[in-house]
Amino acid sequence: MATTTNSRTENPALIRDSGKPGRDCPLCPRLAAFRNEWRKREPGWFNAPVASFGARDAPLLIAGLAPGLQGANRTGRPFTGDYAGDLLYGTLIEFGFARGVFAARPDDSLEMVDARITNAVRCVPPENKPTPQEISTCRGFLIATVGEMKSLRAIVALGRVAHDTVVTALGGRKSAAPFKHGGRHPIGDVTLFDSYHCSRYNTNTGVLTPQMFRAVFADVRRYFDDSQAITSAALRSGGKTG
């Protein structure tokens, strides 16, 4: 079982194949300028590319859009410090993909369990809207993150932007895997699950309800439980299940 409580920008160098942008990653000039502006305005904030949260050997990866200005950009941990994290981490705890107490700060007792969280874009974008070029540029880090997860079996994409960049990162075709809340798409050795993003805007407008969000992770939990049952049955029968 893979658990972790660590989350930080670990690699000081700009090494794309590490899956971790350096603290001063210059690849997206607009995002770098916005990051530097907020370092001046709020020097006590994290204000850097936000690293993935969770163990590399986790079988589940959750992909969001980008750090929130006063959320992960402030705290340094994905989905920590804003409403989206309340819904996400509460749901993960409910379905056994996290444990401990989520207190919306990186030094709480929260641990990921067999799951990891990342973002399509690692730096906070102005108005929470990365450009297509920024999404494409940052995809190299997503590809590296997926590549280092040797036990990866499923990805949950939060929103259409995350869905599209995950499909591309996996070498899939968007036409063969259209985004749909509650959708499930096998792409190579990985199964992609889709959800609307758990943002306050989506929940306030009724686009996403907590019940709809929980239903996605209930499906993910069934997927893992069913796979485990098949594996156990195969072991008991000496590898024969039919």
181-221 pLDDT, tens digit per residue, is 999 999 999 999 999 999 999 999 999 999 999 999 999 99
Q: What value does the CA radius of gyration of the chain take, rounded to a whole number of Å?
A: 18
Question: What's the mean per-residue pLDDT of the chain?
Answer: 90
Q: Which residues contact 100 (CB under 8 A, 6 or more apart)?
A: 93, 108, 109, 110, 111
Residue 56 has pLDDT above 80, yes or no: yes
At 19, is the pLDDT very low, low, confident or very high (cuts 50, 70, 90)?
confident
Residue 174 has pLDDT above 90, yes or no: yes
At 238, is the pLDDT very low, low, confident or very high (cuts 50, 70, 90)?
low
